[in-house]
A and B are shown apart, each in its own frame.
Chain A
Amino acid sequence: MAKEYMNIILADDDEDDRLFFTDAFDELKINTKVSTYNDGVELMDYLNAEDAILPDILFLDLNMPRKSGKECLIEIRDNEKFQNIAIAIYSTSSSEEDIEETFVQGANIYIKKPSDFTLLKKVLSDVITINWQYHTSGLNKDNFLLRM
């Protein structure tokens, strides 16, 4: 009996980006619960709390004040408790170096933030659909690498 919705978290310091992100999910067919955090410190405080409901997929902006996406990524991948969380890097950077480095550090997905809303919806819908397959079909998450 699989649960019928997906828990999603976004950490991003840009308010507009957070708004576009949550709006994009409202129109998706898959049921989702989306919550957002303003920076890496806020995010990690939430995740490390004992009663935290862990997300199925976490979207991480790379450039955030106080604690960057890369620092969060390393901290999360160092902690057994978080091993089932799929991590998507969600960044304006398309540098090959950032992409490969974050994959090596344990990110599953790398998304270059799309510039328009229609494209954003398409990209997020694709990511969620594929993540859903990993979630529901017993695919090996260690081999889950996706670049959009």
Chain B
Amino acid sequence: MKLNLKFDLNTIAKIHLNHLLKESNLNYKSIGFGEIEILEALSEEKIVELSAKLLENGIEIVENQKSVFVQKIKDAIIEMVQNPDDITVKSSVYLSEKLNYNYSYISNIFSEVTYTSIENFIILQKIELAKQLIISNELTLTEIAYNLNYSSVAHLSTQFKNTTGITPSAFQRIVSKRKELASKK
């Protein structure tokens, strides 16, 4: 006997997805077609695992194209901040050459996705690097300022204070007190 079947793909997909997520012990809520919300925080590994499992079953997690591009911008900025000697042009020129788009396009997408500007992000990254160097205790503040391409220690200190609300020396003091406290535990 031959039967003619008509598939409601949407329903099939939903049942199938529900089954797979139950198998993975994940609580979720369906937001609409092609969109679900997992009701718990997932670790990086869990996401990779889930993504592989879904893909085996013909379901692909679509990453937002813009987010992927923003990640590239961030990587380029971090590389730039960590190797200031290699970069002889303005950061806008550097990013636009590196990513092959004009700067205003790069800058608009970045702000849209991250809620902050490229300029602020560069400052944040530089201050993060300064913090690491302060903690490692190998360089003086003057040397750190020089390494990060600040015109003076005062310039670094001011930007540090503006970004974090505390001075580099207060930061250093707090971090060393934290270490002391941790060693007592």
Q: Are B165 and A147 in contact (CB under 8 A)?
A: yes
Measured CB to CB, the nearest residue on chain A to B161 is A147
CB-CB < 8 A to A53: which residues of B?
39-41
Q: Are B116 and A145 in contact (CB under 8 A)?
A: no
Interface: B47 (CB within 8 A): yes
Cβ contacts B117-155/A at 8 Å (1 or 0 each) = 000010010001001100100000000000000000000
Interface of B is mostly: helix
A147 to B41, CA, bound (A): 27
Interface: B63 (CB within 8 A): yes
Interface: B164 (CB within 8 A): yes
Number of A interface residues at 8 Å Cβ cutoff, please give it.
26
Q: Are A136 and B166 in contact (CB under 8 A)?
A: no
A146 to B42, CA, bound (A): 27
CB-CB < 8 A to B47: which residues of A?
1
A108 to B174, CA, bound (A): 11
Contact residues of B between 44 and 98, Cβ < 8 Å to A: 47, 51, 61, 63, 67, 74
- Give the shortest distance, in Å, between A131 (CB) and chain B (any CB): 11
Contact of A129 among B39, B115, B174 (CB under 8 A): B115
CB-CB < 8 A to A147: which residues of B?
164-166
Contact residues of A between 28 and 82, Cβ < 8 Å to B: 29-30, 53-54
Q: Are A136 and B114 in contact (CB under 8 A)?
A: yes
Interface: B170 (CB within 8 A): yes
Interface: B12 (CB within 8 A): no
Inter-chain residue pair count (beta carbon < 8 A): 62
CB-CB < 8 A to B116: which residues of A?
129, 132-133
Asked whether A104 and B114 contact (CB < 8 A) given A54-B41, A140-B128, A143-B135, the answer is no
Interface: B178 (CB within 8 A): yes
- Give the shortest distance, in Å, between B136 (CB) and chain A (any CB): 11
18 of the cross-chain contacts (CB-CB < 8 Å) are: A1-B61, A29-B115, A53-B39, A53-B41, A54-B41, A100-B170, A104-B181, A105-B181, A129-B115, A129-B116, A132-B116, A133-B121, A133-B124, A136-B114, A143-B135, A145-B171, A145-B174, A146-B165
Query: Which positions in A face B, CB cutoff 8 Å?
Result: 1-3, 29-30, 53-54, 100, 103-106, 110, 129-130, 132-133, 136-137, 139-140, 143, 145-148
15 new A-B contacts, CB < 8 A, other than A103-B174, A147-B166, are A1-B61, A2-B67, A100-B170, A103-B178, A104-B181, A105-B181, A132-B115, A133-B116, A133-B124, A136-B114, A143-B175, A145-B166, A145-B174, A146-B165, A147-B165
- Which 8 A-B pairs have CB atoms at the shortest separation, nearest pair first? A147-B165, A104-B177, A143-B131, A103-B174, A147-B166, A129-B115, A129-B116, A146-B164
